Structures are given as structure tokens and as C-alpha cells.
Amino acid sequence: MKRKWLAVISVCSFLLGAGGTYAGVEWVLPKWQEKEIDHAQVGDTHELNSSSGLGKVAQAYELIQKSYVKKVDDNQLIQGAIQGMIGTLQDPYSVYMDAATAERFNDSMDSSFDGIGAQIAIDEGKLIIISPIKNSPAEKAGLKAKDQIIKIDGKGVEGLDLYEASMKIRGEKGTVVKLDIVRSGLAKPISIAITRDEVPVLTVFSELKKSSDKNVGYIEITSFAEGTSRDFAMELRNLEEQNIAGLIIDVRGNPGGRLSSVEAILQQLVTSKKPYVQIEERNGKKIEYSSELKEKKPYPITVLIDEGSASASEILAAALKEVEGYSLVGDKTFGKGTVQQPIPLDDGSNIKLTMFKWLTPDGTWIHGKGIEPTINVKQPSFFKAHSLKIEETLVPDMNNENITIAQEMLLGLGYGPGRTDGYFDEQTERAVRAFQAIEKIPVTGKIDPKTATKLEEAIIKAIQDEKNDLQLQVALKTFNK
């Protein structure tokens, strides 16, 4: 038994010393950038057992195996030990995944997968949404960046690691998961039921837009997956053939992805006068990565960002701003300035560990701070309208949070409720009646489930109307100078 356990300890110490992680979207350094694993550092099993403190772990293992009241599976103990060690790091982006989870995670990077389509992390002990994926069930259900999940299907998330939380949220297409959410601006948690569906990983969308009489290329990147840089290059060529006077790159709500992918895109867009990113190692050594491009594009570039733009999106935004002086339009970004490197283990499981910081071209670490836009533009308030959860019909003289949400929706749609403090007064009733008349539903002046559904549908339609996207409209105007 001891010999078997010592072999396990040796393997675990080797793997932990070489692993890396990123929660939600995988950042992968190109193979030639990966850290070389020094087998000499592992040492023999006797030395590990006696001098590194791992002997105590071996003693605990044997004690449990021999004396615990129930028989315990070897793998359960080993995985628990690994998860425990990673948990003590208190790093939301470091995680261990078993073989099945690692396989599903890798699939979600480069194909389609069943789930809700949201990137999550554990930050200061809180389970948070980094960003929902575009057009995913999570986005359609109303999840937003920085929402805190406090319950999954009615059960608290206290004590869950990222792996356990992910397994509870993901599931087969057609099944429903209910998340209880704490959201900034709401006094009470809200419950959101999300029907799991197939989430396609299509990461690049392009369109030709007009600004005055000029052709402007628009490319949206929803995440940085395996084929993103290839698709970006193809879409950019198609736009350039149409004689564009400028390019908008939209990374709003983009939670990040593969480092190699954003590098390949930046090598197409920025020149060699500055590094597009700096990687800082544990010992403080900084490694600069630069493009070989000598001439920048013959047209200006503007980047759209918001609080859901994280990690690789921030690398792209910072490089375009600091190397070439391009404009960033929108809101301050999420603020993730670390790099994770994944190491697959022999049994198919995976350890991903934060191994580096990344710095902007000018040497700034944006972790926890985010990147400020050069042109700060807030979207209309109804873009952040919360979902209406009607448990009882809302009527005049009531005062609650749902009425506040409905009033904000009515205001955004131009119906003039008169106030947004949650008190259902006569002016709010008139606004409700006007909305009901326009939508051709019974005009009662009360907000029943049907009226609430129509309000939410109208808000979604308004958000999808490009004319209401103030950030995009300002970005288009940057090319009219």
C-alpha cells in the first residue's frame, strides 16, 4: 500500500508543478512557449515523502483507507487532495477537472456543447458570471456579467469548487436549471430558469456598415477559440475588398479564450514598434511578444468594449490602443490580467494553474482594474433592464422592485411612466395602458404575466435595433473626422 501511495504522490507533485488553469475559456500558450518540465525537480519518492511534507498526506491517505467507517475510493481521495491544494490558492482561475469534465471543456472550446453558455469563475469565494456567450440560453434568459450565483436548483453554492459548480449548471439539451442570482442594483436575489440547449461556438461575425457615405467594416468576436484567428482573417479580407474606410472590432461580452488566437489576430493589425503583450513570470522576468508587421492598416480601427470584455479581449483592446493609438469605445472592461497554462494528465484529467501575469504594451497590469475606454459611452438604461419575475399582478398603489423594473422598461420604450422608484402611481398606470393598447393586448392598466412578457419582448427588440446601440453609433462616428 505504501509503495502504491508513494507512486501516486510522486505523480501528483509532478503534475501540480506543471499545470495551469483558466475558468470558463481556456488560454493556451503556443507549444513553443510552454514551460519545460524539469524531471529532476520531481526527485525520488522517498525524498518527496520525507522532506517535502507530503509524508503527512500519505499518512492521512492510509489512515482513511484503513480506519474510516466506510470504504473510500482511491480516486476520490486523490482528486480531493488535488482540489484541496488548488483551493488553498484562492485563485478563481485555477482548477482541477477530472477526465470527463476536461473532455467536455475541450469540446466547448472548438465545437458545440450542451449547456447554458456562460463563463463562470470563483472570485473571493463568490461564484460569478464572467459573461454569457452571445445568443446562448444564458444571454436570452437575462444573465449578465458579474452576476453572483448563490443557488443552483435551490441548493446553496457554498463550498463548491469551480468544477462542482460547472457540473451542476451544465446538462443535457432541453433540461432546465434554476439559478438564484445576486445582482448589483437589486435589493433581493432573483431566480432565473434557463433551458439548456446546444451552444454553437461560432466566434466571428462580420458585416459592412455605413457611416455617412463611407463603408465601415464591422467584425464581432464572441470568444477566442481555435479557429477564431483564421475566420477573422477571412472576414477581414472580404471587408477590405469592399474598400472600407475603417474597421470596428466588437469584443463586448467576450470573456476571452486562447492566447495564441488573440496573438495571431494582433499580428495582422499592429506593427512592431511596441510589443503587443508582455508576459511576466513568477520571478519577475518579463518576456515581450511583438508583431513583425512594419506598416499598419491604411484605415483606422475602433474597438468596442464593455464590462464583459475579459482576458484575451483586454489583450486585444490594450494592444490596439497602446501600440497604434486606436480608439476604445464603451465601458471599462472586466479586469483579468493573468494567464493560465493547461497540462493534460495521463488519465485524461486536467490541471490548469495561473502561471503568468500579462501586461499591456506599456507595462500596465490591469488585473482587477480593467481598461478604461478612450471614449466612454453608456448604453441606454433599458439595455441593463432586469427580468420581470411576476408572482402576482402588479396594480396601482403597489410599491416593489418589480414595478421599478417595469417602469424602467416603459421609460426606455418611450411610454413615460413618470417615475422609476417602484411606486405604481396614476402616471405609471397610464403608461401601462398605452403600452397595452399599442401591443393589442387587454388594456387593464395592470401588469399581469402577459403584459410582463410583452414588455420583455419589446425590450429585447429595442436592444437588437442597431439605432439604439449608442456605443456602436459613436464608434461609427469616429471615422467621420
Q: Please state, in angstroms and rounded to a whole number, the distance separating the CA atoms of residues 394 and 242.
A: 52
Catalytic residue chosen out of the listed positions 223, 290, 311, 407: 311
- Which of 336, 341, 349, 357 does the annotation list as catalytic? 336
Name, in order, each residue with C-beta under 8 angstroms of 242's C-beta and a sequence gap of 6 or more. 208, 215, 217
Catalytic residue among 340, 349, 407, 471: 340
Angle (CA) 181 183 189, round 5°: 45
277/27 Cα distance (integer angstroms): 14
List of residues 6+ apart from 33 with CB closer than 8 A: 279
Asked if residues 355 and 377 have their Cβ atoms less than 8 Å apart, the reply is no
SS3 75: helix
Q: How many Å apart are CA 365 and CA 442, to the nearest integer? A: 56
Beta strands at 246-250 and 301-305: parallel, antiparallel or unpaired:
parallel
Interatomic CA distance for residues 247 and 236, integer angstroms: 9
Cα 17 from Cα 15, distance rounded (Å)? 5
Classify 123 as helix, strand or coil: strand
Rounded CA gap, 42 and 234, in Å? 45
Residue written as grid cell 404575466: 449
Active site residue 481: no
Residues 6+ apart with CB under 8 A from 249: 219, 220, 221, 301, 302, 303, 304, 316, 320
CA distances 375 to 38, 355, 363, 412, 423, Å, are 47, 33, 22, 23, 36
CA dist list (Å): 342 to 108, 178, 260, 408: 15, 30, 13, 44
What CA–CA distance (Å, rounded) separates 309 from 320?
A: 14
Residue with the three cell numbers 477571412: 234
464 annotated active-site: no
* Residue 124, number of CB atoms within 10 A of its CB: 7
Told to judge if 144 belongs to the known catalytic residues of this protein, a careful annotator would answer: no
Residues classed as catalytic: 311, 336, 340
